Amino acid sequence: MTGDEQELLMRYLDGEMTREEARAFEKRLAGSKELETAAAALTQVREVVVARYERAAEEAAPELDRLWAKIEAGMDAPAAAVAPAVPFFTRVGDAIKAWFEQYRGYVAVGAVSGLAGVLIALSLVRVPSGHVVYQPSGDPEVPLEVVGGGVSGGGSVLVANVSAAEIESLEVEGGSGTTFRIPAEDGEAPTTVIWVTRDVEGPI
Amino acid sequence: MRALVTALVMLGSIASARAQTAQCTATEILASSDKKGVDPKLERFKAKLTKPPFASWDTFVQLAEQMTTVEKAKPASLKLDAGAVSLLYKDRMLASGGKARLRLGIDLDGKDGKRVVSTVVVFDSGDHVLIAGEPHKGGTYILALSCTAQ
């Protein structure tokens, strides 16, 4: 597979092609076993990462719901429940209150989005030990575990399982790296795989 | 008595020197879809290569295998079919069960000499770390690295 083809494949999988380009590339894909295999492997890698993100979002959902309910309860509270403002700041307080009344929807959405971002980021960095996030084959006996993804230009992945390999740092020039674990067999430790996806073309 | 002390000191020095080195093996594998199965030389990797994401290919050929002894804090380079790899044995720890755990810096360069991957991995003595995904010779390149503390 040429670097050009790899770039086209990335664009195709990212949905960055026009309809005509995508159709032309699909024809090319159908005619090349190698390209088809690379597409299948890349799709698997992406599914693992997407599954991880979705799982993180699902885990964060109940917490976000609770926060949202709290914000809504606060917004619906009667004005009498609000403590009277200190006289000196009355006008400023009124102005802020008026501003908040006008934009409270945006403020609440901003706060919830920020919290969601923090929760997802924390969840992605700290993967619990033995936390299987993806079973690409559909067979529960062969789970594939992602321990970190999308590391580009430097970054670290924390791995909880002591016996498995830990990636302290990972830099992929002109691309990104995704770290997987292939489950252990016969008393062996799980095998850690660093999957390299480069944005730039050219065979190694 | 003096002879005994001398012998003990010598034994200690030898043991210390051994703890400062590791025997590393780099196995280069080419994955493709040529329906030729797994190279018999790669029998020990077969279980791993038949699982996702490697299950997308049906042919795995060993391109080369090299061994080198790395000394602590001294970079060692190996010329690969796909470029070169530099190994830096950084540290040795004791893992559960008395097994040694190694901290290794790995820099993988392409044939053009440009850096592809730079990583620091901590793994048990004898375990494998695989670096994969780059296109190479019409297939996909896999580098399996393993080090055993001495």
**pTM (two decimals):** 0.58
**Segments in A14-89 forming alpha helices (H):** 19-30, 33-76
What are the tens digits of pLDDT across the range A7-58?
Answer: 888 888 888 888 888 888 888 888 888 888 888 887 777 776 667 667 777 7
The residue type at B25: T
The residue type at B94: L
- The residue among B51, B54, B66, B52 whose CA lies nearest residue B30 is B54
A-chain residues near B51 (CB < 8 A): 137, 142, 144, 182-183
The three-point CA angle A64-A65-A67 to 5° equals 65
- Cβ-proximal residues to A192 (8 Å cutoff; 6+ apart), any chain: A147, A159, A164, A165, A167, A179, A180, A181, B121, B123, B129, B130
CB contact under 8 A, B123 and A165: yes
Mean pLDDT of chain A: 69
Q: How many CB pairs under 8 A join A and B?
A: 139
Query: Is residue A202 pLDDT above 60, yes or no?
Result: no
Cα–Cα distances (Å) from A171 to A204, B105, B149, in that order, read: 16, 12, 25
Q: Complex ipTM, two decimals?
A: 0.86
What are the tens digits of pLDDT across the range A53-76?
Answer: 677 777 777 777 888 887 777 776
Query: Is residue A135 pLDDT above 50, yes or no?
Result: no
CA of B130 vs chain A CAs: smallest distance (Å)? 5
What are the tens digits of pLDDT across the range B56-89?
Answer: 899 999 999 999 999 999 999 999 999 999 999 9
Q: What does the pLDDT read at residue B10?
A: 53
On whether any CB of chain A is under 8 Å from the CB of B116, the answer is yes
Specify the 3-state DSSP secondary structure of A105. helix
Token readout for B8 is 């003990």
Higher pLDDT among residues B64 and B18, named by residue: B64
